[in-house]
């Protein structure tokens, strides 16, 4: 299949931009990674006020998600792509959504099991797929031969799927507050198909990754039997 790389882990891009920024700086302080730290701080500010100020929470969360695109752009322009940054980006994405679901669970206790299922699918899918990609020696968790996943990981599709899903979560949060309920309800209905599409892709991604890892384990088992 065609090889693709994520914004944070493209060594070729890093070489092209290497002269634009002093690479002697510690990787910990590279601009894309600093953006990642800012994202984390913003989300936690929002979580702190989540039960009292929905505007602040929505604002900080949306800005944090918007910066998700900025760190990849900074990595390309400044030649500061790194494995540390790639992992930070992915973990921040997973953690921010999970924390928001914890808040949603407190606002909508009757949806607790549904929210837990969404978080579980998200975690399982991304980590199984990441590990399967590493076992295959691929450069990014976004590389796959499955037709649906190849379509899903096209940049415009991925952007719409991720942004739409995040807006669905945010709208669900805002809908709890009376002065935001009407607008939030419209956003919820508009983004629901996008959110469901992403869950289907997550499920397919999980299935593909499990198959790859099981095939790898079977090959290792057969090698061990032959060597015995």
Distances in whole angstroms, Cα of residue 17 to Cα of each of 12, 13, 40, 147: 9, 6, 26, 32
Q: What is the pLDDT along the chain (228 residues), one digit of tens a residue?
A: 444 444 444 444 444 444 455 556 899 999 999 999 999 999 999 999 999 999 999 999 999 999 988 988 998 898 899 989 989 999 999 999 999 999 999 999 999 999 999 999 999 999 998 888 877 765 454 556 789 988 998 989 999 999 999 999 999 999 999 999 999 999 999 999 999 999 999 999 999 999 989 998 999 899 999 888
Query: Model's pTM, two decimal places?
Result: 0.82
pLDDT at 144 (0 to 100):
65
Q: Give the 3-state secondary structure of 97-146.
A: HHHHHHHHHHHCHHHHHHHHHHHHHHHHHHHHHHHHHHHCCCCCCCCCCC
pLDDT at 18 (0 to 100):
43
Rg of the chain in Å (alpha carbons): 19
Q: Which of 201, 111, 124, 206 is nearest to 165 (CA)?
A: 201
CA distance 30 to 114: 38
CA distance 21 to 23: 6
Q: Which of 68, 83, 70, 60 is nearest to 10 (CA)?
A: 83
Q: Which of 225, 208, 24 is nearest to 133 (CA)?
A: 208
Residue 126, number of CB atoms within 10 A of its CB: 19
Residue numbers annotated as active site: 93
Go through the chain and tell me how many residues it has.
228
The token pair at 14 is: 């890093």
* Helices first, then strands: H and E counts in the chain: 8, 0
Distances in whole angstroms, Cα of residue 113 to Cα of each of 44, 62, 95, 105: 24, 25, 18, 9
Are residues 80 and 8 in contact, defined by beta-carbon separation less than 8 angstroms? no
CA distance 43 to 34: 14
Are residues 209 and 129 in contact, defined by beta-carbon separation less than 8 angstroms? yes
The helix (run of H) or strand (run of E) holding residue 181 is helix 181-227
CA distance 85 to 87: 5
């Amino acid at each position: 299949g065609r090889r693709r790389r994520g914004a944070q882990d493209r060594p070729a891009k890093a070489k092209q931009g290497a002269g634009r920024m002093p690479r002697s700086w510690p990787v910990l302080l590279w601009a894309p990674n600093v953006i990642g730290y800012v994202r984390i701080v913003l989300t936690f500010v929002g979580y702190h006020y989540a039960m009292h100020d929905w505007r602040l929470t929505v604002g900080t969360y949306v800005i944090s998600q918007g910066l998700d695109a900025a760190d990849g752009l900074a990595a390309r322009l400044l030649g500061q792509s790194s494995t540390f940054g790639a992992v930070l980006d992915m973990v921040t994405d997973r953690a921010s959504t999970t924390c928001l679901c914890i808040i949603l669970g407190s606002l909508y206790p009757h949806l607790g099991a549904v929210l837990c299922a969404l978080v579980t699918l998200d975690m399982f899918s991304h980590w199984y797929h990441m590990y399967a990609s590493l076992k295959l020696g691929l450069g990014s968790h976004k590389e796959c031969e499955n037709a649906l996943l190849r379509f899903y990981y096209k940049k415009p599709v991925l952007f719409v799927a991720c942004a739409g899903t995040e807006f669905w979560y945010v709208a669900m949060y805002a809908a709890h507050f009376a002065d935001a309920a009407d607008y939030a309800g419209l956003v919820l209905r508009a983004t629901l198909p996008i959110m469901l599409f992403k869950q289907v892709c997550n499920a397919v991604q999980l299935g593909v990754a499990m198959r790859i890892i099981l095939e790898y384990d079977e090959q290792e088992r057969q090698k061990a039997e032959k060597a015995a």
